[in-house]
Chains A and B, each alone.
Chain A
């Protein structure tokens, strides 16, 4: 079972697998899938922005109605999801920009930066939502 034995007999050598056959869940894979998923979520988030602009242009009644819809519990859940998506997609996007520059491709770095992007997305979103509570203003 040693490496030298495997190399000695070509038939026993483990062949490389197609990526589609590697089922093991991995953090880099999760980050890649979530990058696309959060991108789609932000598509929805942008439509919420369009709604906000329309409500603002419609006058005080429409604006208060729209803002109270966003402030409802389902509205807050959606907006928190959008916030997580903003920060994860941003952090992972910066990771992609480094890759475009040819940096950060080692397994160790790719694993570490995936974890950083995932953590940052969640922590930054929680921090943003805690801010009004901390400063007590709103």
Chain B
């Protein structure tokens, strides 16, 4: 059937999906945000690594810490989702496998971000003592 189509007809619809620029810009903007957020996160991890459960509760009761942790989770999972998507698209060529992996990637990233934020809000907003 394809043999009856004109060269123009065959080429049509095989171009880009016109969504590439959004991916490119999103990847870079989240990268810039993560430079600052990850430096803060490494510093915070050092503080928390030496502390107890009480230290972690006190730490998360500071709104700045809770907000920065939420932002780190959003930026990191967004950046990760874009990066892993490119890896899957580069190496997996079977359409069904590719689609499944891309969906799993989305679920893991959205799920991870949601779990992290809900958990930290639960702790940050509970009690309010300290």
A6 contacts the other chain (Cβ, under 8 Å)?
A: no
Q: Which residue of B lies closest to A132 (CB)?
A: B50
Task: Count residues of chain A with CB under 8 A from any CB of chain B.
Answer: 32
State the majority secondary structure of interface residues on B.
helix
Cβ contact within 8 Å between B46 and A128: yes
B108 to chain A, nearest CB (A): 8
Mind listing 18 A-B residue pairs with CB under 8 Å? A39-B87, A40-B87, A43-B84, A46-B80, A47-B108, A49-B116, A50-B115, A54-B115, A56-B120, A57-B119, A57-B120, A70-B49, A71-B49, A86-B38, A94-B35, A128-B42, A138-B49, A138-B50
Q: B: which residues have CB within 8 A of A? A: 28, 31-32, 34-35, 38, 42, 46, 49-50, 53, 56-57, 60, 73, 76-77, 80, 83-84, 87, 108, 112, 115-116, 118-120, 122-123
User: Other than the known A39-B84, A54-B119, A90-B35, what 18 A-B pairs have Cβ atoms closer than 8 Å?
Assistant: A39-B80, A40-B84, A40-B87, A43-B84, A46-B76, A49-B116, A53-B115, A54-B115, A56-B53, A56-B60, A56-B119, A57-B123, A60-B53, A63-B53, A90-B34, A93-B31, A94-B35, A97-B28
